[in-house]
Chains A and B, each alone.
Chain A
């Protein structure tokens, strides 16, 4: 487990977290390189199925990050997303999938610093529980 480098999928909202990630890069902030990024128009675009699909395909963790409440480019996308994610999280926990696999955050375009911290935290918590197994499809 010592050298386990998790693979993390991140869904970043185009209007905030994606720009936040960009800022982190431009500001040369260091954070682990375990993430793959999918840019989405809004956190509300992220269907819980996307997250499950990542876990099925062998990602060790998933992060969805959107605009802070009130800042959504589409006004309410993140409010709806917040409700969906609460339900997804409860369902996964109940089924017995480690709750450390799936994370959510609000990161604005100006929060490069926060973005790098979020990524570090996600990776740290996924490292603790080890590689994904439960929902992974054996091929």
Chain B
């Protein structure tokens, strides 16, 4: 039994949890699946490593919606914990009903990057080492450096450890250097607006409107999303570039002051669209303009649900 399993087992019985949400080995190599454990003996299947790419806060929210009376423990990377904390600040979750079990995160794999590194070849077996991952498939074996396949969000992550937790298993990880946080945004900002427009047009034109980004996102919990409305029909559902653009801009705006940069959307995207750039640009605006960072404080009002009478209005006539 691993250290993680042992410690979680103790927490499970000490806290009398009804449910523990964590990760278990998935059916595909290098891809963990969310795990829902209701019996202590099943805790032996828990894992935590770089394959744990989903944001579990989404599942927590769904579970609470299903049955609000259960006491739930959850294994949380820095970003899962931040999403939970933010959801508490939005009164979607109750702090006292959730046991946050922090785990040190060294980043998770971006499936799209992995696919590119392997030129689309299928992985049938793998070994995860400290610095590298060895992928095996039909007629090949390849050793890949971890940093080549980690999600861009993870390489720039400022909060790899849960900012608030009830238990923490293991030793806290170091965050990425602060200048990394908005590196991608800064680079794009050096371009002219027309160059950026071309960049985004190219990125978003890959979009097949599958809505995987929305479904993976713990902050997209509306019962009816604006893109699903028919009366009025705000945005077309097809692959018209104007509709696609408006969908992505609106999603970024709906996430303003709420996005915890977990990157679940990017990793869920089957087309490898750069969702990160725009979302991070908004995060940067919120941070610089309003001094707010989502998911750090359960008590604090989200940036757009708050105001100061002397907020800057240099852009208003």
Contact = CB atoms under 8 A, between A and B. Distances in A.
A91 B234 contact: no
Contact of B289 (A86, A92, A138): A86
Interface stretch (A6-14, A18-26, A94-102): A94-102
Contacts of A28: none
A76 interface: yes
Contacts of B140: none
Contacts of A49: 226, 234, 246, 250
Interface in A63-110: 69-70, 76, 79-80, 82-99, 103-106
B316 A106 contact: yes
Interface string B228-252: 0000001010001011011001101
Interface residues of A, number: 39
Contact of A95 (B185, B236, B278): B278
A104 to B, nearest CB: 5
A118 interface: yes
A33 interface: no
Interface stretch (B69-77, B99-107, B195-203, B214-222): B195-203
A92 B250 CA distance: 10
A90 B282 contact: yes
Nearest to A52: B246
B285 A90 contact: yes
Given A49-B226, A69-B313, A87 B304 contact: yes
B285 A87 contact: yes
A138 B157 CA distance: 39
Nearest to B243: A137
Given A49-B226, A49-B234, A136-B242, A83 B307 contact: yes
Contacts of A91: 249, 252-253, 278, 281-282, 285
Nearest to A50: B234
Main secondary structure of the interface of A (DSSP, over half): helix
Interface string B186-208: 00110001111111100000000
B165 interface: no
B303 A137 contact: no
Contacts of A128: none
B167 interface: no
Given A83-B290, A87-B282, A95 B249 contact: yes
Contacts of B313: 69, 82, 106
B200 A96 contact: yes
B309 interface: yes
B242 A95 contact: no
A53 interface: yes
Given A56-B246, A96-B196, 18 more contacts: A49-B246, A52-B249, A53-B246, A79-B307, A82-B307, A82-B316, A83-B304, A84-B304, A87-B253, A87-B256, A87-B257, A91-B282, A91-B285, A93-B193, A95-B197, A103-B317, A104-B315, A135-B246
6 contacts: A52-B246, A76-B307, A83-B290, A104-B317, A135-B242, A136-B242
